[in-house]
């Protein structure tokens, strides 16, 4: 598998680029040549997610282009052969688009990048038409072009650099370069011909001839495609509408005549071409069939129902076959509709939660942006024609707008739904996305949410800490959200002080007489109970803090109550009986599965306000963010099925930028995200260096690796369905364990460890250096069995270490953290799943990832156990990667996708269970040097 698209990281945009014409245009190519041409290396091909084609950027040998030779010429007759990489035009478009703005782009590549923009703009405006090429292939070309388009193309052609047309014409003297404007027009056609093929040709011909991506020979359509005219309709009259036929010359777009004038002349070819177009138009808009019965098809009377159809979708269908509709200039057409949410009453706002909190929804129609009065709405609702007299002007009325004038009052919606619509500016009314306006209290709330700091909030006097500026802004934001009765998700990076910010919020709310009273319940992983208690006692001394955990637990009615997710799940009913002033879910990704018992139990606990704390609001998919925000602010994102259909699929699968922007506007007020790298957030943090440490397999590991591949691939070939997926996971897990150490895979009880694993030998070398410099190190592995082997090995070497995993009791965890932070133990072995979040281990200045996790966000969380506020030493991160193995390929994929919040890698081994046998074999193949 390879990614389609730009290969921008290969530097192709720094090469000269020439366009090579083909028939049909969509088979044309861009040839790149020059000093910066990368060496093709098929072994470096990225195995990308087929559902996210274009996310990665392979080299020429990885599907980004085909290496070969190119003969280039210059005007003085010189010619030479150079190395080149050829790309189909469709694949070259992103490279050229990047080159248009790249600082070091070659002028030829930048020129074709500018041409790409012109081509895409023409396509977006519908300036494309179906044609038949000289080779009798179906194709889409740009056109017809208006005078402004023609001048723009000519100006661009005049700026074409010599390197952009250095390829000699086929079958011609090598010194003869192509003319600039025809070459540019051919390129515009090629880009247009690669675009997704719509249904316009179906309307035109009654069959999907021009909708197939594969070239088709259609010589029987040549006469149709060689038309020299296009047709438009000019609508006249008000009491009686008429559609007057206008005929335009394609050779000279400025030449336009009425059909009556054309039929009075002698140009039979133009009349014949016009009739072909009119027959095509009649298929798209049946009322025009009456024209075909006239001796001179110059105009036809339109019934009111015809005009309504034209307004509804007839004009769109006609545009699809290249026929524009022109309405009278004195006919007003800017009647618009939007929905108005709320009421003009700016009094007390309703509570946002609960199905009984309803908000009015009404249609509001406007003329030129000025709302219609009730009398004007009545006149519009009572109109029986597609035109109505409003404000002394005739106004064209879409039938759908007339219906909205008659049905002004819509079904009320919940307050939280109204708020969501107000924030996005769009409401979903019966499947239609409609602009909205917020009024009254809803407009007040929307305005407050648009600002980070609505009211100044000073740090509580009882807080024994000095809040950093970004922490104080976080406190103000949390106070604003909770005081409005809304939930919030504080999603700062690990180590930026979310705990102290939340403690400050509790103190602030406790001292505010307008805030609902009651204790604060903190639900967190078991490993963080001690950390929370220490932080509260340190920063808010005197505030009662109770652990609701273990045997004999009792619920306190003041201060902080700390509990674990497991205990909360068991005692949810008991906890739900109390009136909590604030419920906090720390490491909220623990409830990312909304159907889990833990998530369901948490939802049953009522509170005046809810706050989620997490450094990774999205690990795998947007549904995890839904789970968090639907707990903090129920109903904001709708039901889970509706969320997937409206937001997740368009954003994750379709990469719909407009939908992503609306979604960001919706969640922005409810989620505050700051990163350590943000300017001014944590300038005191020391530098962090991350290094992939390649290591060779030992001979034993290599033999065992290949044996596992042979054995399990044979099983996979004989299996299907769930059984096959299970064997794929078995294969990947086994290979990772072989890469760690043969003793782990073989489950040896009393193994000899030395000399059998390249990783273990490299770990020894790293530890020798780190400990010699009085350093401290965290060693993460996803396998407790491997951690035990490492611990046994270190004990034999006389190196003190300790191991924390999911089965370690809470008191023992806290003691381990204390001993490491005190410097008693220099090596801390940690299970990635159990210790990747929550712990504060700033004594470490080195972090070793002994084996790779499938999600880079999880690794980053683990690294943040050391790289966080309070760290004063530079932190070095070492990722051990066995060369030539699946780990090597996964490491490359992690690098390529590290910036994606949602990627296939985040799904773990299951992401690869759908690969074909050939793709899987390529992924796990043991290679010599990679």
Specify whether 343 is located in the same domain as 262.
no
Greater model confidence, 918 or 46: 918
The predicted pLDDT at position 779 comes to 96
Query: For residue 206, is pLDDT > 50?
Result: no
Rg (CA), the chain: 34
- Nearest Cα neighbor of 138 from 130, 150, 147, 149 is 130
**Last residue of some domain: 205, 239, 267?**
205
Confidence at 191, pLDDT banded by 50, 70, 90: very high
- Nearest Cα neighbor of 616 from 806, 878, 837 is 837
User: Residue 681 and residue 893: Cα distance in Å, rounded?
Assistant: 30
Identify the H or E element spanning 875.
strand 875-882
Report whether 176 contacts 101 (CB < 8 A): no
User: Residue 525 and residue 567: Cα distance in Å, rounded?
Assistant: 10
E strands present in 310-392: 324-326, 335-341, 358-367, 370-371, 387-390
E strands present in 638-704: 671-672, 688-695
Distances (CA, A) of 79 to 21, 22, 68, 100, 173: 19, 22, 17, 28, 10
Specify whether 761 is located in the same domain as 661.
no
**Assigned domain for 220 exists:** no
Altogether, the residues listed in the chain come to a count of 930
Confidence at 608, pLDDT banded by 50, 70, 90: confident
Specify whether 618 is located in the same domain as 565.
yes
The predicted pLDDT at position 575 comes to 94
Confidence at 49, pLDDT banded by 50, 70, 90: very low
Confidence at 614, pLDDT banded by 50, 70, 90: confident
Query: For residue 175, is pLDDT > 70?
Result: no
Bridge partners, 235 (sequence order): 243
Distances (CA, A) of 574 to 519, 553, 555: 15, 11, 9
- Our CA angle for 185, 188, 191, nearest 5°, is 150
**Assigned domain for 620 exists:** yes
Query: For residue 204, is pLDDT > 60?
Result: no
**Per-residue b/e over 765-789, b at no fewer than 16 CB within 10 Å?**
ebbeebbeeebbbbbbbbbbebbeb
Confidence at 351, pLDDT banded by 50, 70, 90: low
User: Residue 862 and residue 495: Cα distance in Å, rounded?
Assistant: 11
Q: Which two tokens stand for residue 109?
A: 């590549």
Report whether 353 contacts 312 (CB < 8 A): no
Identify the H or E element spanning 481.
helix 469-483
Which whole number is the average pLDDT over 414-442?
76
Three-state secondary structure readout of 749-789: CCCCCCCCCHHHHHHHHHHHHHHHCCCCEEEEECCHHHHHH
Specify whether 443 is located in the same domain as 515.
no
**Assigned domain for 199 exists:** yes
Report whether 647 contacts 618 (CB < 8 A): no
The predicted pLDDT at position 836 comes to 67
- Nearest Cα neighbor of 872 from 677, 650, 685, 732 is 685
Q: Which two tokens stand for residue 674?
A: 């700051």
Q: Which two tokens stand for residue 656?
A: 């719909």
> 759: number of CA atoms within 13 Å, CB side?
31
Which whole number is the average pLDDT over 223-231?
67
User: Residue 531 and residue 533: Cα distance in Å, rounded?
Assistant: 6
User: Residue 532 and residue 374: Cα distance in Å, rounded?
Assistant: 60
**What digits encode the pLDDT tens for the residues 466-480?**
888 888 989 999 998
**Assigned domain for 462 exists:** no
**Last residue of some domain: 326, 355, 380?**
326
Specify whether 64 is located in the same domain as 186.
yes
Is the preceding peptide bond at 144 cis, omega within 30 degrees of 0? yes
Specify whether 737 is located in the same domain as 779.
yes
| pTM attached to this predicted model | 0.52
Report whether 73 contacts 177 (CB < 8 A): yes
Range among 373-382, 748-757, 827-836 with highest mean pLDDT value: 748-757
Calculate what percentage of the chain has a pLDDT beyond 90.
25
Calculate what percentage of the chain has a pLDDT beyond 70.
83
Specify whether 634 is located in the same domain as 705.
no
Identify the H or E element spanning 733.
helix 721-740
**What digits encode the pLDDT tens for the residues 241-290?**
899 999 988 767 678 899 999 999 888 878 888 888 898 899 989 999 99
Return the CATH number at 633: 3.40.50.10810
Specify whether 546 is located in the same domain as 655.
yes
**Assigned domain for 680 exists:** no
Query: For residue 879, is pLDDT > 80?
Result: yes
Expressed as residue numbers, the domain containing 399 is: 339-449
Specify whether 703 is located in the same domain as 615.
no
User: Residue 588 and residue 591: Cα distance in Å, rounded?
Assistant: 6
Q: 502: Cβ–Cβ under 8 A, 6 or more apart, which residues?
A: 478, 490, 522, 584, 611, 613
* Residue corresponding to tokens 């809810």: 610
The predicted pLDDT at position 208 comes to 56
Q: What is the dihedral of CA 58, 63, 66, 72, to 10 degrees?
A: -50
Of the ranges 116-120, 367-371, 736-740, 789-793, which one carries the lowest mean pLDDT score? 367-371
Bridge partners, 108 (sequence order): none
Report whether 122 contacts 128 (CB < 8 A): yes
The predicted pLDDT at position 165 comes to 82
Beta-carbon neighbour count of residue 519 at 10 Å? Answer: 24
Which whole number is the average pLDDT over 285-300?
93
User: Residue 199 and residue 207: Cα distance in Å, rounded?
Assistant: 9
The predicted pLDDT at position 893 comes to 65
**Crossing angle of helices 107-124/180-194, nearest 10°?**
60
User: Residue 181 and residue 282: Cα distance in Å, rounded?
Assistant: 35
Of the ranges 315-319, 588-592, 833-837, 887-891, which one carries the lowest mean pLDDT score? 833-837
Which whole number is the average pLDDT over 192-206?
60
Backbone angles phi, psi at 230, to 5 degrees: -135, 165
The predicted pLDDT at position 2 comes to 33
The predicted pLDDT at position 239 comes to 75
Exposed / middle / buried, residue 815 (Cβ in 10 Å: 0-12, 13-18, 19+): middle
Specify whether 835 is located in the same domain as 909.
yes
Query: For residue 399, is pLDDT > 80?
Result: no
Report whether 598 contacts 569 (CB < 8 A): yes
Report whether 617 contacts 597 (CB < 8 A): no
Report whether 637 contacts 626 (CB < 8 A): yes
**Last residue of some domain: 449, 478, 507?**
449
Q: What is the DSSP letter of 671?
A: E
E strands present in 556-654: 560-564, 582-586, 610-613
The predicted pLDDT at position 900 comes to 37
**Assigned domain for 753 exists:** yes
- Our CA angle for 375, 376, 379, nearest 5°, is 90
Of the ranges 81-85, 129-133, 286-290, 709-713, which one carries the lowest mean pLDDT score? 129-133
The predicted pLDDT at position 54 comes to 31
The predicted pLDDT at position 197 comes to 64
**Assigned domain for 210 exists:** no
Q: Which two tokens stand for residue 335?
A: 């009647």
Backbone angles phi, psi at 441, to 5 degrees: -60, -35
Return the CATH number at 733: 3.40.50.300
Q: Which two tokens stand for residue 297?
A: 């098809």
The predicted pLDDT at position 202 comes to 45
Specify whether 43 is located in the same domain as 174.
yes
3-state SS class at 153: helix
Distances (CA, A) of 156 to 12, 119, 185, 774, 921: 22, 12, 10, 65, 49
Q: 254: Cβ–Cβ under 8 A, 6 or more apart, which residues?
A: 147
**Assigned domain for 683 exists:** no
Instruction: Please state the domain count of the chain.
Output: 5
Identify the H or E element spanning 86.
strand 79-88
**What digits encode the pLDDT tens for the residues 761-810?**
989 989 988 998 889 999 999 999 999 999 999 999 999 999 999 888 88
Of the ranges 69-78, 266-275, 793-802, 847-856, which one carries the lowest mean pLDDT score? 69-78
Specify whether 635 is located in the same domain as 531.
yes
């Amino acid at each position: 598998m390879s990614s389609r698209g730009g290969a921008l990281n290969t530097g192709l945009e720094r090469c000269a680029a020439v366009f090579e014409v083909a028939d049909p245009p969509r088979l044309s190519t861009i040839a790149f040549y020059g000093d910066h041409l990368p060496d093709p290396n098929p072994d470096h091909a990225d195995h990308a997610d087929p559902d996210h084609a274009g996310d990665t950027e392979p080299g020429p040998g990885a599907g980004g282009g085909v290496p070969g030779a190119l003969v280039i010429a210059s005007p003085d007759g010189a010619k030479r052969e150079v190395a080149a990489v050829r790309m189909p035009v469709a694949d070259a478009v992103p490279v050229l688009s990047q080159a248009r703005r790249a600082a070091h782009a070659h002028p030829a590549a930048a020129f074709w990048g500018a041409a790409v923009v012109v081509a895409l703009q023409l396509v977006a405006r519908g300036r494309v038409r179906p044609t038949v090429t000289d080779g009798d292939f179906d194709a889409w070309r740009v056109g017809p072009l208006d005078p402004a388009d023609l001048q723009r193309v000519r100006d661009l052609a005049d700026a074409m650099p010599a390197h952009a047309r250095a390829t000699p014409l086929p079958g011609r003297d090598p010194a003869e370069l192509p003319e600039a404007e025809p070459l540019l027009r051919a390129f515009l056609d090629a880009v247009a011909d690669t675009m997704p093929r719509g249904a316009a040709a179906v309307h035109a011909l009654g069959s999907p001839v021009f909708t197939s991506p594969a070239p088709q020979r259609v010589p029987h359509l040549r006469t149709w495609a060689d038309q020299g005219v296009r047709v438009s309709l000019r609508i006249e009259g008000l009491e009686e509408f008429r559609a007057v036929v206008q005929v335009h010359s394609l050779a000279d777009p400025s030449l336009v005549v009425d059909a009556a004038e054309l039929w009075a002349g002698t140009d039979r070819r133009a009349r014949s071409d016009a009739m072909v177009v009119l027959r095509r138009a009649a298929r798209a808009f049946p009322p025009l069939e009456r024209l075909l019965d006239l001796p001179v098809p110059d105009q036809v009377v339109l019934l009111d129902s015809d005009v309504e159809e034209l307004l509804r979708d007839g004009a769109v269908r006609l545009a699809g076959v290249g026929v524009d509709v022109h309405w009278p200039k004195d006919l007003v057409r800017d009647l618009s509709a939007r929905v108005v949410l709320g009421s003009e009453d700016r009094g007390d706002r309703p509570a946002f939660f609960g199905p009984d909190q309803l908000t009015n929804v009404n249609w509001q129609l406007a003329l030129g942006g000025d709302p219609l009065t009730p009398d004007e709405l009545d006149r519009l609702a009572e109109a029986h024609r597609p035109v109505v007299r409003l404000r002394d002007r005739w106004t064209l009325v879409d039938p759908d707008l007339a219906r909205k004038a008659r049905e002004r009052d819509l079904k009320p919606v919940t307050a939280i739904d109204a708020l969501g619509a107000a924030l996005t500016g769009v409401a979903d009314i019966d499947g239609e996305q409609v602009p909205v306006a917020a009024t009254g209290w809803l407009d007040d709330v929307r305005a407050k949410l648009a600002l980070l700091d609505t009211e100044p909030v000073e740090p509580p006097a009882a807080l024994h800490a000095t809040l950093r500026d970004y922490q104080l802004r976080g406190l103000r934001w949390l106070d604003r959200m909770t005081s409005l009765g809304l939930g919030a998700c504080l999603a700062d990076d690990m180590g930026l002080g979310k705990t102290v910010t939340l403690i400050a919020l509790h103190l602030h709310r406790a001292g505010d007489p307008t805030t609902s009273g009651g204790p604060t319940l903190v639900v967190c992983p078991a490993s963080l109970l001690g950390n929370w208690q220490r932080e509260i006692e340190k920063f808010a001394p005197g505030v009662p803090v109770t652990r609701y955990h273990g045997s004999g637990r009792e619920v306190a009615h003041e201060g902080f109550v700390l509990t674990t997710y497991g205990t909360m799940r068991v005692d949810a009913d008991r906890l739900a009986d109390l009136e909590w002033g604030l419920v906090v879910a720390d490491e909220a990704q623990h409830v990312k599965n909304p159907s889990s018992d833990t998530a369901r139990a948490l939802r049953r606990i009522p509170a005046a306000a809810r706050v989620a704390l997490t450094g990774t609001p999205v690990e795998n998919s947007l549904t995890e963010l839904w789970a968090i925000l639907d707990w903090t602010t129920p109903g904001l994102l709708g039901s889970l099925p509706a969320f997937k259909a409206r937001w997740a699929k368009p954003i994750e699968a379709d990469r719909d930028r407009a939908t992503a922007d609306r979604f960001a506007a919706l969640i922005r007020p409810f989620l505050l995200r700051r990163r350590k790298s943000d300017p001014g957030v944590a300038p005191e943090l020391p530098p962090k260096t991350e290094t992939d440490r390649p290591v060779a397999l030992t001979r034993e590991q290599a033999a065992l690796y290949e044996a596992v591949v042979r054995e399990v691939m044979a099983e996979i070939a004989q299996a299907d369905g769930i059984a096959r997926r299970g064997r794929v996971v078995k294969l990947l897990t086994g290979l990772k364990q072989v890469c760690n150490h043969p003793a782990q895979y073989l489950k040896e009880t009393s193994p000899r460890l030395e000399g059998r694993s390249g990783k273990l030998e490299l770990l020894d070398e790293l530890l020798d250096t780190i400990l010699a410099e009085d350093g401290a190190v965290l060693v993460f592995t996803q396998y407790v069995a491997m951690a035990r082997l490492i611990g046994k090995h270190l004990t034999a070497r006389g190196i003190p270490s300790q191991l924390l995993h999911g089965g370690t009791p809470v008191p023992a965890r806290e003691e381990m953290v204390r001993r490491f932070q005190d410097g008693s133990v220099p090596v801390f072995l940690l299970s990635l799943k159990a210790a990747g979040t929550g712990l504060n281990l700033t004594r470490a200045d080195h972090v070793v990832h002994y084996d790779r996790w499938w999600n880079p966000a999880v690794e980053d969380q683990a690294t943040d156990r050391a790289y966080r506020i309070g760290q004063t030493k530079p932190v070095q991160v070492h990722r051990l990667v066995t060369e030539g193995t699946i780990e090597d390929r996964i490491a490359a994929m992690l690098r390529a996708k590290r910036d994606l919040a949602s990627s296939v890698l985040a799904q773990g081994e299951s992401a690869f269970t759908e690969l074909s046998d050939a793709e899987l074999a390529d992924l796990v193949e043991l290679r010599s040097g990679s």
